[in-house]
Structure 1
Amino acid sequence: MTTSRRILGALAAAGATALVLSGCVAKADVAAGASFDVSSTDSACSVSGATAKSGTLVFDVANESSQTSEFYLLAEDGLRIVGEVENIAPSASRTLTVVAQPGTYYTLCKPGMVGDGVGKAEFTVTGDRVEVTGEDAEQKQQAVDLYAAFVKDQVGQLVPAVDTFVAAYESGDDDAARAQFPQVRAYYERIEPVAEALGDLDPRIDFREVDAVADGLDWTGFHRIEKDLWVPAQDALNADGETPAWQDWAPSTPEERAGYGDQLIADAQELYDYVHSDDFTTALEDQGIGGISNGAIALLDEVATGKISGEEDWWSGTDLYDFAANVEGSKMAFSLVQDFAASQGSEGKTLVSEIEDGYAALESALAKHGSLTDGFVAYSDLTEDDKREFTDLINALAEPLSQLTGTVLD
């Protein structure tokens, strides 16, 4: 039984109460001037304003660039991600809805979804902190506690699993390491947006080679180890589809394996320390209910931007494991806010029903190819029809899911 199912079972046993987070702000507050238009081009990120009062902020992002783009609201250090929308196709639009506390932030667009991005600009939020008030306060805090417990549980399982995985890798027991690789990653993939909010931690743990090269970073983490475990064939290409896999490449020496393995252990421990810190608790409370619903959206975006194309686990072909774990984490986050969304009248109930149907259809399609418990087929075994089915189902779920944050914040 997966951790997400265990926690969902606990929710059911606790009773059918509406579970939401802090930061519920009336729609009238949005209409009062907290809505911004964003234009993402190849060279600029133009936001229609640079200041707002604390509370619900809505950024309507239009991608006017020639590339798929992303939009970020960053914390004052310019590294931590407060909110994001990914995978915005050219000529398409997406909406980011967040609850922002007073402070200094930065807006940024990333055409092509790699590199440092363009148009980074300061964004100031004034006013008072948004506090939890009213009869829903207890349920909101319960949702915060449940989501924090889920994240801590996943990271708590990740750390020892990484230790065991690295021990096999460093000792040269590649068969054992290959068997463990997709299972270890599942713990991380369910809660990946938490690590993404910590600056360069996610790049150290989970960057693909092509991403590290594009950003000028040392390539470490799961995918660096993956390439050692699944040695590329002489005629193989890297994930960019152009560079020969053996160009400037040699399998790691035992000393290099020790370095990569020890770094992954240290990075997993850093993530563990963070999710058990006051900073993590404060971040959850500051982001409020929008933080959880945006996490559900971000995890589905992870599927759309890497797993569905087979580019994530380029050497091992274990993308469906990551795919399934992302979906589990996304559904878990959704489960904590769905009752509150459904309480927003008939439109909310319809939205929740559409999202539930979307998850069910996606899970059914995944089940045709295996499971996290029993294993999935290699990504190369999927037909073009299989990939097209997944793409259609992800797009069908992404549309109503993108409305979730705005609905629960009404």
Structure 2
Amino acid sequence: MRVLRSSAIAAVAAATALAALTGCAKKSDDKDSNAVDVTATDDKCQVSKTSFAAGHVKINVRNQGAKVTEVYVYAPGDRIVTERENIGPGTRAEITATIKAGEYEIACKPGMKGDGIRQKITVTGDGAQAKSDPELDKAVAEYRKYVQEQADETLPVARKFADAVKNGDVDGARKLYAPSRVGWERTEPVAESFGDIDPKVDVREDGLEKGQEWTGWHRLEKSLWETKQISDEDKKLADRLMADLEDWSKRVGTAEITPTSMANGAKELLDEVYRNKITGEEERYSHTDLADFEGNVDGALKAYELLKPVAGKHDPALVKELDQQFAAVKQALDAYREGDGFKSYDTVGQDDRKKLSDVVNALSEPLSKLAAAVAK
């Protein structure tokens, strides 16, 4: 779940520096008719064109504001088509996405909160459907199968977790908490694309919008580790969590998935690791951040491996680097394994967290280029 907190100021400052290196976008090529420039400030979101052809679209973002921002392309109902987070002040980011014909909104979110400053856009024609690559079609089909499997396999584990909560079994619920989240963490960008499910199941207390009720995993996490008691309200929330996860499992098969959304989703998963897991913000009560870390990396690796045959043809040097950097992240994470899981993250010192951060950043930079390689 994406949210910015005051306690993450240092991480955001580092992200700003990282963005200058990893998200740099070249000025739009006049020959590229589907390049769209987005200039974000703290109170404006200027779009160079509000109508363009469907197909592979390059969105060049420049943040001229004083706040870290993020940019989204929303379909009706706030379904997320593509996004890029952690765009620091004075930096640029380049997003390559496949967008079908229709009406959309581009949103800039200074401070990375709220509904954002929005501009309506129209995408015309059927360019997105005109080009078909059998290898990429296969990759999308396999990834769709993967995300459905992850959702379906989550339900029985989450049911055991919910039952433990309803039975007042604090120790049992604690043991099942992290395992119940694995499938979600592996496929989080797809789940988030629906817009309404993520805020119900994965929001943290300081990420709540005004008037929003706090439900989901992290509400129960706080009871299990901070108050160490399960209330009658918690038992009701366990049932609500299951209802929302069952809704996710039913709807995930309808998600809009393209090769570029897979690639961008892999990058988003690495952003999740950097922004929330490395800082310890994600699981602030249970300290099970490393399990989430692994889930995010596993999901990113799956998307990459499916896209690798095509990316390798277009950019073999990129694939070579990604292979090396994924292996390095896996090796770094393995150092913290303990039994069937991981060490409690509150036992991981700042020096070790910095090392983890560095290895994640080293993967994030080349991974940001995957969508462009696939779209060539």
User: Which TM-score applies when normalising by structure 1?
Assistant: 0.82
Task: Tell me the equivalent position of 1:293.
Answer: 263
Tell me which amino acid in the other structure corresponds to 2:312: A
Question: Once the 2 structures are TM-superposed, how far is the Cα of residue 37 of structure 1 from its aligned partner?
Answer: 1.5
Task: Tell me the equivalent position of 1:5.
Answer: none
CA separation of 1:69/1:374 partners in 2, compared to 1, >3 Å: closer, same or farther? same
Considering Cα pairs closer than 8 Å and 6+ residues apart, tell me whether 1 or 2 has the greater RCO. Answer: 1
- 1:306 and 1:208 mapped to 2: Cα distance? 11
Deviating beyond 3 angstroms after TM superposition, the runs of 4 or more aligned structure 1 residues are 29-32
Task: Tell me the equivalent position of 1:144.
Answer: 140
Tell me which amino acid in the other structure corresponds to 2:182: A
Conserved in 2, the CA contact under 8 Å of 1:114 and 1:215? Answer: no
The answer to whether structure 1 residue 261 and structure 2 residue 238 are counterparts is yes
Task: Tell me the equivalent position of 1:305.
Answer: 275
Conserved in 1, the CA contact under 8 Å of 2:50 and 2:120? Answer: yes
Residue correspondence of structure 1 range 7-406 to structure 2 within 5 A = 31-77=31-77, 79-117=78-116, 119-131=117-129, 133=131, 136-137=133-134, 139-212=135-208, 214-231=209-226, 253-254=231-232, 256-276=233-253, 279-280=254-255, 283-284=256-257, 288-344=258-314, 348-370=315-337, 374-406=340-372
Task: Tell me the equivalent position of 1:9.
Answer: none
Tell me which amino acid in the other structure corresponds to 2:155: V
Tell me which amino acid in the other structure corresponds to 1:312: E
Conserved in 2, the CA contact under 8 Å of 1:71 and 1:109? Answer: yes
User: Which TM-score applies when normalising by structure 2?
Assistant: 0.89
Tell me which amino acid in the other structure corresponds to 2:96: T
Question: Once the 2 structures are TM-superposed, how far is the Cα of residue 133 of structure 1 from its aligned partner?
Answer: 4.8
Q: Secondary structure at the match of 1:231?
A: helix
User: Which sections of structure 1, spanning at least 5 residues, go unmatched?
Assistant: 1-28, 234-250
Q: Percent identity?
A: 38
The number of aligned residues is: 349
Conserved in 2, the CA contact under 8 Å of 1:320 and 1:379? Answer: yes
Q: Secondary structure at the match of 2:178?
A: helix
Tell me which amino acid in the other structure corresponds to 2:110: P
Range with bigger deviation, 319-328 or 375-384: 375-384
Question: Once the 2 structures are TM-superposed, how far is the Cα of residue 104 of structure 1 from its aligned partner?
Answer: 0.3
Conserved in 1, the CA contact under 8 Å of 2:71 and 2:107? Answer: yes
- 1:131 and 1:258 mapped to 2: Cα distance? 47
- 2:174 and 2:31 mapped to 1: Cα distance? 53
Q: Secondary structure at the match of 1:343?
A: helix
Conserved in 2, the CA contact under 8 Å of 1:116 and 1:215? Answer: no
Question: Once the 2 structures are TM-superposed, how far is the Cα of residue 31 of structure 1 from its aligned partner?
Answer: 3.4
Q: Secondary structure at the match of 2:61?
A: strand
Question: Once the 2 structures are TM-superposed, how far is the Cα of residue 232 of structure 1 from its aligned partner?
Answer: 5.1
Task: Tell me the equivalent position of 2:4.
Answer: none
